[in-house]
Amino acid sequence: MKKLINDPASVVLEKLQGLALAHADLLKVHFDPVFVVRAAAPVMDKVGILSGGGSGHEPLHCGFVGVGMLDAACPGAIFTSPTPDQILEATKSIYHDAGVLYLVKNYTGDVLNFEMAAELAAEEGLTVAVELIDDDVSVEKGPATAGRRGVGTTVFAEKICGAAAEAGLNLPAVAALCRKVNGWSRSMGMALTSCTVPHVGKPTFELGAGEMEMGIGIHGEPGRRRVPLAMADEITEMLTLPILNDLPFKPGDAVIAMVNGMGGTPLGELYIVYRKLAEILHKHDITIARTLVGNYITALEMAGTSITLLKTDAELLKLWDAPVKTPALHWGM
């Protein structure tokens, strides 16, 4: 295991210490229990936006705390849900009469713990709403599974709900926007390599030199299928067509498109994927209105990529373009 870490047991703590030191103008870290809030929290007269989940997906979620996006983020251990008490304390630290919205990726532990935190908050008289993100088309819907995983759409939901809260929308309206974003957005990912959880010390799964995993999750969960290594254009097609067919996206649609790196893939390769994605969408008469190309929701040092497409309209575009100032997204201010 070759990593720039010290003790595997202190990886999350030290990442957060580094984050706090590097971005003291934007955020601060509370260490017991652990959560990240804006430097100026609580921000008055707006809905508080709170997200969180296992660590190892940086910059998600802590790197999206700041003006125009999250008010707070609760990082768990690597690939492990944060606990209800963490979430409750973070909620209190950002709480204001306008209430708080939890944006939760659809994983059993996350859903359980965020819902428990919401109950505890309600018992203390706090108004909290919970919205789930479940955009991963590589998981089939049905009674046999816990539903689809929440992946790339989380970035879009955090940006758009963050902007809506900043614009003064009330809690039901911001929650409704989250459902709109989740309803209109789909993702799929793939891996060229596995990743290694620090305290485990060996790769989560083995992948041969000539193999890749299509439909991978962001924790190295099994994908749809293990297939022979293919060229970037074929891989892009294998990711994009299931996304397009699932919503389905239609000719004339405009989208916000993200080509996301899994952590160990260099930026140049993501642009090669973007090139083919743009070609495919053009053929389907779908317009790309805005783009994100880079590492936004990762799986430690995994090599691979995911694509997320969000059908968009004037309302979503306006919120997307609104100013944001966080460690990982920064424009308009």
Q: List active site positions.
A: 57, 219
Site string for a copy of itself, 226-265 (x = CB under 8 A): ---x-xxx-x-----------------------x---xxx
* Cα 307 to Cα 15, 188, 239, distances in angstroms: 26, 6, 7
Sign of CA dihedral 52, 1, 305, 321: positive
Of 301, 309, 311, 320, the residue at the interface with a copy of itself (CB under 8 A) is 301
23 binds a copy of itself (CB under 8 A): yes
CB of 265 to a copy of itself, least distance (A): 6
Pairing of strands 225-228, 287-294: unpaired
48 binds a copy of itself (CB under 8 A): no
Q: How many helices (H) and strands (E) does the chain have?
A: 8, 14
Of 172 and 266, CB closest to a copy of itself: 266
Q: Percent helix, strand, coil in the chain (nearest 5)?
A: 35, 25, 40
Cα separation of 233 and 23, whole Å? Answer: 38
Most distant pair of Cα atoms in the chain: their distance: 56
138 binds a copy of itself (CB under 8 A): no
Query: Under rule CB under 8 A, how many of the chain's residues touch a copy of itself?
Result: 61
Of 242 and 327, CB closest to a copy of itself: 327
2 binds a copy of itself (CB under 8 A): yes
Cα separation of 221 and 201, whole Å? Answer: 17
Binding site for a copy of itself (CB under 8 A): 2-7, 11, 14-19, 21-23, 55-56, 58-59, 63, 192-193, 209, 212, 229, 231-233, 235, 259, 263-275, 278, 288, 291, 293, 295, 298, 300-301, 303-305, 325, 327, 330-333
